Chains A and B, each alone.
Chain A
Amino acid sequence: MLKRLGYHAIPPEDEALRAPLRALLAEHMAGRPADLRARSWMGHDAELSRKLGRAGYIGLTFPKRYGGGGRSAFARFVVVEELLAVGAPVAAHWIADRQSGPLLLNFGTEAQKERYLPGIARGVTYFCIGMSEPDSGSDLASIRTRAGRTADGWRLDGQKIWTTGAQHADFMIALARTGEAGEGKGGRHEGLSQLIVDLRAPGVTVRPIPDLAGDEHFCEVFFDGVRLAPDALVGTEGAGWAQVTAELAFERSGPERIYSSVVLLDAWIGHLARNGADAEATRLVGALTAELTALRMASLAVTALLAAGEKPATEASLVKDLGTSFEQDVPARIGDYLAAHPDEPVEEELLRTLFYLSAVVPSFSLRGGTREILRGIIARGLGLR
């Protein structure tokens, strides 16, 4: 059975990070409408990332010798919460901060850490993640992108797709087949490796794919005989599957997965303040607020496990599945409410926010592992697999 999650408070020294960060964001984001803020970690703003890096809010959990903050997971929780609370456009540095940086810290060589981590922490070096391919989504082990050893390093050929932020990123950490799959159960997880690809290298083509909201955040990336230096390999050759699994556990364990619709919730509360709230509206505000409170405490409990040096992969999957369900519920229920009150004028900004989120929320339970995959991980944690 799973570990019971407990009630945790954030240490005061980490709470102290809030006020100065809030002031920085208030200045940078003044006048930004709710529908833009709702894009939050889809919004690319290198200027903000540089400001955050200068002020020490990126790479908080990295050791100081790599330009990080040397702080705990609680400090990172506070910063992420503040950024998402107001819908700050954090996409530029987001993946490097939450996934690639921790991956390099765990599996990278000393030289790789020294080379990449300081730039990530300064908010100037951006990463994307090369996992999905045209025929490989949830079945990640079926990827066909190949990296082969050459006399002077590696040669990479193949294609990635749905790669978020590739058009803005400096580097990709790509999962590629470097050896043959093994025999038997789990054998297909063998022969995979992670490699750092400089996206400006010859042979790399990045093509953004417009999304249903009119934005461009994910991309196709083609590798045509891309030459990589010998030190492009991250971690151990052939151990890519275990490394990717660990990386996705970081992805699932932060408070990122409960707050994606909170800008809409606050915009709707603003609407109710102007138009009045009937009993139905009041109950809906309360129900959503109750769920959000419990989700936050659950996310904080996972953070406490991380801070204690544990690897709460299953618990993180529980919180992520619940969190993304909540994020998807918010526009559905607020939309229902507004549609049930057709005589109540709805501000155009609120409508734009509602329709933007309604369109993109299906992606919340796709990115970083689908709902069905997460529930499979939970079932394994329950001893059913």
Chain B
Amino acid sequence: MDPLFLDMFGRVLDDALPAEVTRAIGDGAPFDESWAAVAASGFLDALLPEAAGGAGLGMPFGLFFRLGEQAAALPVAETMVARALLHAGGVAAPDGPVALADLTNGRFLPYGAVARHLLVDTGGVLQLLPMAAVDARRVAGAGSTAAQLVGPGGAPVAELARPVDGLLPVVAVLYAAQMAGAVQRVLEMTVAYAGTRRQFGKPIGRQQAVQQNLAVMAEEAMLAAIAAQVGCAGDSLRIGREAAAVAKTVAGRAAGRVAALAHAVFGAIGISAEHALQLYTRRLRQWAFAAGGAGYWSGVLGADRLAQGAGLLSVDYVRRVAGGPAA
């Protein structure tokens, strides 16, 4: 991805969704101004074809990763995907944030309480519904923007064809890419803290035990990013279930391990509401939980692997999943 494009996106996010805004939105403050700033930047339509005013991107790993680094408090990635799908289906996109849901799975919506619309995969079609018409309940808790879908919604305002493999792989991959970004940011925060926090007369980052844990965090961050890129490979929103499974399983594992190790290094201050670490670790856990967790996606991948038969080497199977030429 063009680094200038990415820098521009980063500046939009830093202006519209800085940490204090993330906190305020988590406390229930209105966010129309912030959203309007993101919308005015044009990035919400980045996935549309260039002829339609977009940037013609498939699944933009770089943008989603950057959203993860921001621990964004609004469903920017979901809305980007929704607007591209709506455009492809010839449906005018509504204003405001859009949440994505798959009725057959993943009814926990990390941004369900702040979305204005819901694009839902019924298993047969995609339906666009105003959030007000959907039976969803906010999941209460500090900093929560999440809601749980309780039952089917009311009348849709539009219907369109669903992607070949459904919406769930797309949602799983956009959370995987955001987890990769958040994990990287948490690693950087933790390394910086370990370099300044002194105990026993020296920075804790000089202690070998702490260095070993930070090295593990770096490993997990690297693997999460590469797995998310496996999910985002290709130039369309047509995400295979197997590639999504790699992305969500591996990034989800990284999210859990990195969150735990970061909190261990930060100690008590990381548990405080005031510290920014919790903004990231909360998102990491919710993104890992939503759209099918590691257990769900491992089951999907394992079933496909076993269906290929024992005659196929694992090496050939992973080459195929990662988008290499067919074995």
Contact = CB atoms under 8 A, between A and B. Distances in A.
B25 interface: no
Interface stretch (B8-16, B34-42, B93-101, B215-223): B215-223
Interface stretch (B116-124, B144-152, B301-309): B301-309
Interface string A6-23: 110110100100000000
A294 B226 contact: yes
Interface in B169-209: 184, 188, 191, 194-195, 205-206, 208
Interface residues of A, number: 59
Contacts of B212: 372, 375-376, 379
Range of interface residues on B (Cβ < 8 Å): 35 or more
Interface stretch (A95-103, A133-141, A295-303): A295-303
A285 to B, nearest CB: 4
Interface stretch (A146-154, A207-215, A267-275): A267-275
Nearest to B308: A269
A283 B319 CA distance: 19
Contacts of A385: 206, 211
B313 A86 contact: yes
Interface of A: 1-2, 4-7, 9-10, 12, 15, 81-82, 84-86, 259, 262, 265-266, 269-270, 272-273, 277, 279, 281-287, 289-298, 301, 315, 318-319, 321-322, 372, 374-376, 378-379, 381-385
Given A286-B302, A297-B229, A322-B223, 6 more contacts: A4-B184, A262-B313, A262-B315, A284-B298, A286-B305, A382-B218
A286 B301 contact: yes
A7 B226 contact: yes
A275 B135 CA distance: 44
A273 B305 CA distance: 11
A321 B246 contact: no
Given A293-B230, A293-B322, A286 B314 contact: no
Contacts of B297: 286, 290
Nearest to B327: A18
A270 to B, nearest CB: 4
A376 B302 contact: no
Contact of A287 (B208, B222, B298): B298
Interface string B292-327: 001101111111011001100111111101111100
B226 A297 contact: yes
A282 B223 CA distance: 22
A376 B216 CA distance: 11
Contacts of A4: 184, 222, 225
B63 to A, nearest CB: 15
B171 to A, nearest CB: 17
A272 B308 CA distance: 12
Contacts of A290: 227, 245-246, 249-250, 297-298, 301
A1 B313 CA distance: 36
19 contacts: A6-B229, A7-B226, A9-B324, A82-B315, A85-B313, A85-B314, A277-B302, A282-B303, A282-B306, A285-B298, A286-B300, A289-B246, A289-B318, A292-B318, A298-B222, A322-B222, A375-B212, A378-B219, A384-B211
B325 A318 contact: no
B72 interface: no
B246 A293 contact: yes
Nearest to B208: A376
Given A266-B313, A296-B318, A273 B214 contact: no
B17 interface: no
The 3 closest A-B pairs by CB, nearest first: A286-B302, A286-B298, A286-B301
Interface of B: 184, 188, 191, 194-195, 205-206, 208, 211-212, 214-216, 218-219, 222-223, 225-227, 229-230, 233, 245-246, 249-250, 294-295, 297-303, 305-306, 309-310, 313-319, 321-325
Contacts of B321: 289, 293
Given A1-B188, A7-B230, A375-B216, A292 B314 contact: yes
A7 B212 CA distance: 27
> SS class of chain B's interface: helix, strand, loop or mixed?
helix
A372 B212 CA distance: 7
Contact of B302 (A285, A298, A384): A285
A319 B300 CA distance: 26
Interface centre among B223, B230, B315 (most CB of A within 10 A): B315
Contact of A2 (B222, B299, B316): B222
Contacts of A282: 298-299, 302-303, 306
Contacts of A281: 302
B207 to A, nearest CB: 9
A322 B219 contact: yes
A193 B102 CA distance: 63
A141 B315 CA distance: 38
B316 A85 contact: yes
B211 A383 contact: no
A99 B317 CA distance: 29
Given A7-B230, A273-B306, A289-B305, A283 B211 contact: no
Contacts of A315: 222
A286 B245 contact: yes
B306 A287 contact: no
Contacts of A292: 314, 318
Interface centre among B303, B310, B317, B325 (most CB of A within 10 A): B310
Given A15-B325, A384-B211, A385-B211, A284 B315 contact: no
A301 B215 CA distance: 19
Given A7-B230, A286-B303, A384 B298 contact: no
Given A281-B302, A282-B299, A282-B306, A289 B314 contact: yes
Contacts of A372: 212
Interface centre among B184, B226, B322 (most CB of A within 10 A): B226
Nearest to A371: B212
Interface centre among A85, A286, A322 (most CB of B within 10 A): A286
Contacts of B323: 9
Contacts of A384: 191, 194-195, 205-206, 211, 214
A298 B218 CA distance: 13
Nearest to B243: A293
Contact of B314 (A269, A272, A284, A374): A269
B57 to A, nearest CB: 15
A281 B298 CA distance: 10
Contacts of A295: 223
